[in-house]
Copies of this chain bind each other. A is one copy, B any other.
């Protein structure tokens, strides 16, 4: 299980708004029942099997092209930990607990 952040930016579309592209990218994930999604203000965080996630990201990257963009910049950050089970929930909880300590 890996946790992966994706940010997809269409370039040269003539509009500063990218939320429709981001929303369309997420529709790809509706059929990916084994990938958990957390939306953040700077991208999407996916949790699941790394190969499944990378296949989904590959599809997401194609979405702006399908909607007319001619250049797309996609940033992917993989956090892959194999000494213990990692999850979106556990990562957030682990930091929050330490922040709450005096």
Contacts and interface: CB of A to CB of B under 8 A. Distances in A.
A56 interface: no
Interface of A: 3, 5, 7, 9, 11-20, 22-24, 26-27, 38-43, 45, 47, 50-51, 54, 58, 61, 65, 70-84, 88, 91-92, 94-96, 98-99, 101
20 contacts: A3-B42, A7-B77, A16-B83, A19-B94, A19-B95, A20-B98, A22-B98, A41-B45, A42-B77, A50-B58, A54-B58, A70-B81, A71-B79, A71-B81, A72-B80, A73-B78, A73-B80, A75-B75, A75-B76, A75-B78
B16 A95 contact: no
A98 B19 contact: yes
Given A39-B92, A40-B38, A96-B39, A74 B78 contact: yes
Contacts of A70: 16, 81-83
